Amino acid sequence: MSNQALPQSALPDARVNSGRASELFDWIDRNLPFVFNIPTVVFLVGLVAFPVGLVIVTSFSDWQLITNQEASAVGLDNYIMVWTDERWLGAIWHTFYYAGATVFGQLILGMATALLFNRSFAGKSFYRSIWMMPMIAMSTAISLVWILFFDNAYGVLNYSLEQFGIGPVEWTSSPEWAMPSLIMVGIWHHTPFMTLILLAGLQSLPTDPFEAARIDGASRWQVLMHITLPLMQGHIIVALILRSIFAVKEFDTILAITEGGPRYATETMNMNIYINAFEYGYMGEAAAKGVLFFGFILLIQVALVKLRKRQWSH
């Protein structure tokens, strides 16, 4: 009936279109795994492979962002030159100093608070919520608050120290204190995340070994050192992997609080790359440093993952 309602001239076209659609659906059916992967491939190529490829290509050039000089290929020059760049070598040290100190501080404090919150006491939920608040605060916002705290003449930190006859300390304006100040902010900001992971780990531990230890008369310290920490190794390594990735990449708080200064004392690899690319316009050099930075992060992660695998095999 419906065919009769159509104009005669439209019938062959409709059949052809219907045939093509059917072929298309057949093809999709036959290649379903491939078709389902198309969005992922497009996403990865467009947003990951292409930019990464572009960075790698740029790293072999002397391209400058705003200049009257044409970019040219310079081979491995950028990769060789960085090893004589004192600021870059300093930035490597600053990166590992910052990451090592913040992650270590977060681990100690995170474990201590996780053990505390694993116990029962009045108002535990309330205190736990308060403790977790820095984790959800925006980096730039907390940096602005810390800048006020750090003020040499009018900041709350120096005011507090002054009450005990100490100071004043030049928190972020002296090369000696600037990095410890940033580490302090890093520990304050990210310890709650460490607490969260370790607390989850503590709550998933079996209760039998602890009961057995208690019956055998083990002290709290002995339980911590010989039962809790060994059982927690897996969780600790996961927390270390996650936090060390983020600590090595830390950028926004450093930019907002010290901008890499004073005297480049807080210039991490990330900051050095940013300044070279967008402040100085040396895109080729910055790209080479970016590739090396990526390599460093990869190495750290491979080492930590191997550590975790070894722990699993135990």
Binding mask 143-182 for other proteins (x = CB under 8 A): ----x--xxxxx-------------x-x-xxx--------
Environment class of residue 34 by beta-carbon count within 10 Å: exposed (0-12), middle (13-18) or buried (19+)? exposed
Collect all residues with Cβ–Cβ distance below 8 Å to 160 and sequence separation of at least 6: none
Binding mask 67-86 for other proteins (x = CB under 8 A): xxx-----------------
- Site membership for other proteins, residue 294 (CB under 8 A): no
Work out how close the CB of 257 gets to other proteins at its nearest, in angstroms, rounded to a whole number.
9
Collect all residues with Cβ–Cβ distance below 8 Å to 139 and sequence separation of at least 6: 189, 252, 253, 256
**6 or 65: CB nearest other proteins:** 65
- Site membership for other proteins, residue 262 (CB under 8 A): yes
**127 or 177: CB nearest other proteins:** 177
**134 or 261: CB nearest other proteins:** 261
Listed ranges 38-46, 184-192, 278-286, 293-301: which one lies at the site for other proteins (CB under 8 A): 278-286
- Site membership for other proteins, residue 280 (CB under 8 A): yes
**26 or 279: CB nearest other proteins:** 279
Query: How many angstroms separate the Cα of 149 from the Cα of each of 131, 153, 175, 177, 246?
Result: 19, 10, 18, 14, 24
- What whole-number distance in Å separates Cα of residue 308 and Cα of residue 141? 35
- Site membership for other proteins, residue 140 (CB under 8 A): no
**134 or 281: CB nearest other proteins:** 281
**C-alpha torsion 45→46→50→52, nearest 10:** -90
- Tracing tokens 């505390």 back to the chain, one arrives at 116
Listed ranges 90-98, 202-210, 236-244, 258-266: which one lies at the site for other proteins (CB under 8 A): 258-266
| Token representation of residue 38 | 């198309």
Choose which of 210, 259, 296, 300 interacts with other proteins (CB under 8 A): 259
The phi, psi pair for 214, rounded to 5°, reads -65, -45
Q: C-alpha 108: how far from its chain's center?
A: 19
Cis amide bond preceding 7, omega within 30 = no
| Token representation of residue 287 | 């790209």
Q: In terms of Cα–Cα distance, which of 110, 117, 108, 101 is closest to 244? A: 101
- Site membership for other proteins, residue 261 (CB under 8 A): yes
Is the Cβ–Cβ distance between 58 and 284 less than 8 Å? yes
Choose which of 25, 27, 278, 294 interacts with other proteins (CB under 8 A): 278
**280 or 312: CB nearest other proteins:** 280
Residue 160, CA atoms < 13 Å, CB-side half-sphere: 6
Count of positions on this chain that bind other proteins (CB under 8 A): 25
| Token representation of residue 141 | 């916002």
Choose which of 15, 20, 124, 263 interacts with other proteins (CB under 8 A): 263
**202 or 275: CB nearest other proteins:** 275
Work out how close the CB of 14 gets to other proteins at its nearest, in angstroms, rounded to a whole number.
45
Work out how close the CB of 289 gets to other proteins at its nearest, in angstroms, rounded to a whole number.
16
Binding site for other proteins (CB under 8 A): 65-69, 147, 150-154, 168, 170, 172-174, 259, 261-263, 275, 278-281
